Structure 1
Amino acid sequence: LNGKLSELENLKSDLEKELLELKRPAGGAQNKLATEHKEAFVGFLRKGREDGLRDLERKALQVGTDEDGGYAVPEELDRNILNLLKDEVVMRQEATVITVGGSDYKKLVNLGGTASGWVGETDTRSQTATSRLELIEPLMGEIYGNPQA
């Protein structure tokens, strides 16, 4: 009975620590499952290997590094990937107000470049180019003018 009680106390203590981490502004530390998923997802993005993802069956974008598809979702990153517009437009038409919790907001921009091709149902498929992504980190602050009279 004492063993079971001790086990329950340890479980309660662990749960309280996890809840405390989740209440922090950063949302808590990555757990083992998140780290495992990150490795499998990066393997899929870079090499097309699905074996690790099939085992995990979770949909969460994680951390990567390069602009050829390795970028993912670190810190406070916008969940929508914005297509980079090639035509010049009025700034106000494209402006979006986003409330952020700190100065580390980041957004992915799709530079384009995805290739594709037509094949028959059983034909072989050659490798195609991937979209190139760029990470934008806006400077936080206020714009002001102070003209001299």
Structure 2
Amino acid sequence: MTRLAATPLADWMRLSRWGYAGVNTLHVLGIALLIGAIVPLDLRLLGLRRNIGLADAASLLQPLAIAGLVLAATSGVLLFLADPRGYASTPLFPLKLVLILMAVSNALALNFGAGLPGASTARLRLLGALSLILWLLVLCAGRFLAFV
């Protein structure tokens, strides 16, 4: 952690008011894209709004969720550099990482194998509910982390 904290990028994140604010804004934007796309898709997987085709909903929302995840993860790494020892010392940080890993694994399980078109209604509902719960837990862990 000491080596990470001593990098020029970590110094910039700690010392640049506008740099940190800009990266934090990108992090929030990434989270908004991710959660804003995941929630309606998960609700569709749970059986709501059946008049909207699942394939159509997924083709619109999954790329937005992926873009949000990439933006949130990239900016999250930069935010971590601002205080690596502080973040690593709180139990919330590894919990957040485990929850992200579980949520991404759930999304991969949903999309590979039989995929969305070949999945049973029960599988879609189970994985949709799990996704909704996991991503909301990630969101809560991240918000708590910012204030602990």
Question: Which range, TM-score by smaller chain?
Answer: under 0.3
Q: Compute the TM-score of the two structures, normalised by the length of structure 1.
A: 0.26
Higher strand share: 1
Q: Compute the TM-score of the two structures, normalised by the length of structure 2.
A: 0.26
Structure ID, larger Rg: 1
Which structure would you say has the larger RCO, counting Cα contacts within 8 Å and 6 or more residues apart?
2
